[in-house]
Amino acid sequence: MTTTISPPKAYCQPNVEQNENLFYKSGVEAFKRNDNTTSFEDLLEFALIDFKDARYYISGIASRFRRLYAVPIESFDKVFEEADQGNAFALYLLSQYYACKEYDDIKRHYYAKLSAELGDSYGLYELGRCYQLGVSVQKDEKMHQRLLKKSISQNNPLATFNYIQDLIEGWSSKSNIPRALQLLNEIKKDYYGEKWFLLGQLYWKGKGVEKDNKIAEKYFIKAIECGLTTGYDELANIFMYDSNTSKLLDNVSLKKGYQYLLKGSEYNESACLSHIAMCNEFGIGVNKNIKNAIKWYKKAAANGDLHSFYRLAYIYFTVSDESVSNIQCACDWAKKGAGFREPRCLDLLGDICLLQASNEFEQSDALKYYEQAADYSNANSMLKLYYLYKPHDIWKYDILQESEDNSPDWIIPSKEKAFQYLRKSAERGNPTAMFIHGVILTDIEDELSDEILGVNHLKKALDKGIYKAANRLGFVYEFGIGLQQDIELAKHYYNLACQYEENSYFKNDLIRFLDIYYPEEKYDDSNCKSLSFNPITGKFDIDEHPSEDDLSDNQYSSMTFEGFA
């Protein structure tokens, strides 16, 4: 990096009269209607002379991909000029430019560091994010927290709301919702939409407060009035899904929720556009219409919704309707999303390569795309890398029912790499990975065994609908592997596996178990039930919803505030 930064200018705090400036007022109003280009251009001059409210609005655009996506590159000309003159906030904006507009991790970290060294609270916040995410530096959560709190000490609203949501979600430490509520109530600036947004989520989910959809609705409306049009998506969620189970509500409520989505679409709110597309794709509140879904996904993609890039690629690649299926369109949309580092698009490109579905790629390119997706924490790609790297002669358990295929000739099998990717996938919550990991860890003959962690992963896999895990839990409790033997609990799990999985291996296990411990009881398969995958809950239900592939991590909802994730 050869850019030379001049000494910082001395900036004065602008007079409050600038609140009445025509361009300032225009920029605030544009922010409220999700017109990000106008807002950015009208407010930029004020933000660059350290007008704090203007900095708040500009950072609200710059820190969120969906908002910044709409701002043309030429709107940054003034930012580059001021950064060269040592303007600390301009340096922060350049770090966001290289995070969202022209991907360059080295420059993102470089400009964040320069801004932070000049003491800018936004630069401190962004440098902390670099340490949190490992952007051109080693991940360091302690450094992230130190820089975050230093930014908060300078009354930075972006850092403050990030910290509050961390308290709610428990990302870096144990959740502390009472403290989060206290901080939210101490914020006196009512035009901070994030305050109302987070309060709305707490009341909708009943976290730390008594669940109250009416209060949640009131707060989301306040957030919208402050310019967070994603609040329309949250209003839709109130009427469409149960906040505890994520199951769909009645048709009357679904239609009301859909109307909120349509209202949000009037402001080109990408969360609403994508949600409308999902409703059309799966028939939620409207008749299922895949072609209409494609139309809405394209609108959402045009407004910066990366989820829609993936859904378009996925639909074109997997749909059985020949009038829709188009491998070239699938490749094009996946490549567009991959260009923005969308991990599911990278993962899908890996699938296209591995299946040799397009002449555009070599099969061996799959490894590159899966590893890139894994670098961005895609649990599905991690699991696929486990299968690719796994030597065919290890971890051969009947319960896994894995094929005997050898690794392709363009990859060198590695037990260490295979287990590393499996462990990471399980830690990221992939149900199948947790099941396989649990099976391996509960094999006390294996050098990698860890029975306590293994049982924990098996139970989590079972909770997510991997009912084969019940059979392994039955085995663990029958023989007391790593825990106290419990025959009654073993019986419960063996029965559960047979109840939900038509599998001769499980049936024979239960018959053997009953013959030994309960000879008076006979196996009865009349209670077996068929399961189908519910794309809304991300779990398996009994005879409720049609099965759809690969949707457990593709459910769309803006339940997490977009700026903090």
pLDDT digits (tens, 9 = 90+) for 411-421: 999 999 999 99
Residue 370 predicted with pLDDT over 70: yes
Q: Render 91-159 in DSSP notation, one character per residue.
A: HHHHHHHHHHTS--HHHHHHHHHHHHHTT-HHHHHHHHHHHHHTSSS---HHHHHHHHHHHHHTT-HHH
Distances (CA, A) of 23 to 43, 70, 79: 7, 19, 18
Instruction: Please report, rounded to a whole number, the percentage of residues in the chain having pLDDT higher than 70.
Output: 89
The span from the CA of 449 to the CA of 443, in Å, is 6
What SS3 state is found at 510?
helix
Mean pLDDT of the region 34-48 = 97
Position 503 scores a pLDDT of 79
State the pTM of this model. 0.86
What's residue 44's pLDDT?
97
Q: Residue 560 pLDDT > 90, yes or no?
A: no
Q: Smallest Cα–Cα separation from 551: which of 342, 315, 358, 383?
A: 315
Mean pLDDT of 202-231: 97
d(CA 296, CA 273): 6
At 564 the pLDDT is 40
Residue 241: strand pairing partners: 248
* pLDDT attached to residue 536: 36
pLDDT in tens, 160-194: 999 999 999 998 888 999 999 999 999 999 999 99
| Count of positions (residues) in the chain | 565
Provide the 8-state DSSP code for 85.
Answer: T
pLDDT at position 562: 43
* pLDDT computed for residue 398 by the predictor: 87
Which amino acid belongs to residue 267? Y
Per-residue pLDDT, 499: 86
Segment 432-485, tens digit of pLDDT: 999 999 999 999 989 999 999 999 999 999 999 999 999 999 999 999 987 899
- Model confidence at 62, pLDDT cuts 50, 70, 90, reads very high
What pLDDT score was predicted for residue 14? 44
Residue 378 is which amino acid? N
pLDDT at residue 4 tops 80: no
